[in-house]
Every structure is written in C-alpha cells, then in structure tokens.
Amino acid sequence: MKTLFFLMITLAATAFAQASDDGDLLLRLEREWNEALKGHDVAWLEKNFASDLTDISSGNGALHSKAEDIAMMKADKTVYDLLELSEMKTRVEGDAGIVTGINHLKGHDDQGQAFDLRLAFTDTYIRRDGHWQVWATQHTRVKP
C-alpha cells in the first residue's frame, strides 16, 4: 500500500514539474518572439508558427495565416525601440498551452510616425512532434 501511495505521489510531482517546465518554455518562446519581431527574423516565424496558425489582428480584427504573417514581416519597415512583456501567465494541459499578458510596443512605423501602445494578448501553443508551436494568437489594444 505504501508503495502504491509513493508511486502516485511521484507521478503527480512529475506531471506538475513537466507542466511547470513547459510553462517556462512557453514564456521563453514569447520573449524570443518579441526579439524576432524587433529584428524582423522571418526564420523564427517559419520555425515556430504552426502551419495552420490563425492570427487575429488588433488593428482591424482581420484573420491572417502563417504565410500572410511571414509576408507582412518581410515587407515590414517598422523600427521598434521597445518591446516589453509583462503580466504573463501560462497554462498547460497535455499538448496545449496558453500564454496571456501585455506587450508594450514603442517605435516608428514605415512613415516615421511614432507609436506607443500596449496590447493584451492570448497566444495558444500546440506541441507537435515534441516541439511547441504558436497555433493561434490574438491581441487587443489596451486603452491608455
């Protein structure tokens, strides 16, 4: 009986540790994503966006695919002075994970217009073949 109890406790602790490790990994991916955005790193998107990604734009609510996001990044001339993540929280259940938070973006668009905005976001990840990928993303402007 003691052996069964010990085994159950060990399995529960292992599952908790795995979820915690996965949550930390998703937070790291969020930080990498911001760096990719700042550096216009198309390769990061190609590697980490799922082929069936859905992106909902904060500007107009338009839906974009992985291919559309990559094309937009290739053409993007935005200069980011600041990309700062805050209030991030993760939830992981099996091969699905969600990260919510706030992203503060500051910089200049391709016309030289300065911007300073905060976006609340929900990013949904899926683990496929042992690799976490962005499956869906949605961001909404936070009013000052």
At 51, which CATH number? 3.10.450.50
Residue 59 is predicted with a pLDDT of: 80
CA dihedral 30, 72, 70, 95 (to 10 degrees): 40
Classify burial at 97, counting beta carbons within 10 Å of its beta carbon; exposed 0-12, middle 13-18, buried 19 or more.
buried
What is the residue range of 135's domain? 2-142
Residue 144 is predicted with a pLDDT of: 81
Total domains in the chain come to: 1
The pLDDT profile of the chain, 144 residues, written as one tens digit per residue, is 555 444 444 444 444 445 569 999 999 999 999 999 999 999 999 999 999 999 998 888 999 999 999 999 999 999 999 999 999 999 999 999 999 999 999 999 999 999 999 999 999 999 999 999 999 999 999 998
pTM assigned to the model: 0.84
